[in-house]
Amino acid sequence: MNYNDLKTLLSSKKITVNCFCEQLQVTRQGLQKSLDNGLLPYNKILLSCKLLNMTPNEFFGWNSEATGNVATNIFGGTNTQNSNEAIKALGDQLREKDRQISRLLAIIEKGGRK
């Protein structure tokens, strides 16, 4: 979710951005920068989902089937073992995506040739 999406969502729920920021204990600018850079801290994600009555999958617009409910298990799971397994699985997925991005950037730097 980016900042503009959040503003739209908050407006639909009749919540002001300032009120939301107060609840998260962040500035409006800090929230915007974190969301737009994809660097919203874990504890702020949890609180945002709680305040908005959403799952992390809903908050980020993730397809539950595509993620295997990993995010829901991490953020909303009550079973610590399952949560740890979900965090490991998500970490593995993120590392693989990072490798793919690095390979693509290397190809681009070489002018598109393998």
Q: Where are the domains of the chain?
A: 1-54, 64-114
- pLDDT(52) > 70: yes
Q: 61-70 burial, b for 16+ CB within 10 Å, e for fewer? A: ebeeeebebb
Of how many residues is the chain composed? 114
CATH code for the structural domain at 1-54: 1.10.260
C-alpha closest to that of 73 among 51, 57, 94, 93? 57
pTM as predicted: 0.54
Residues 24-41: tens digit of each pLDDT = 999 999 999 988 887 888
- pLDDT(17) > 90: yes
Q: Answer whether 35's CB lies under 8 Å from 3's CB.
A: yes
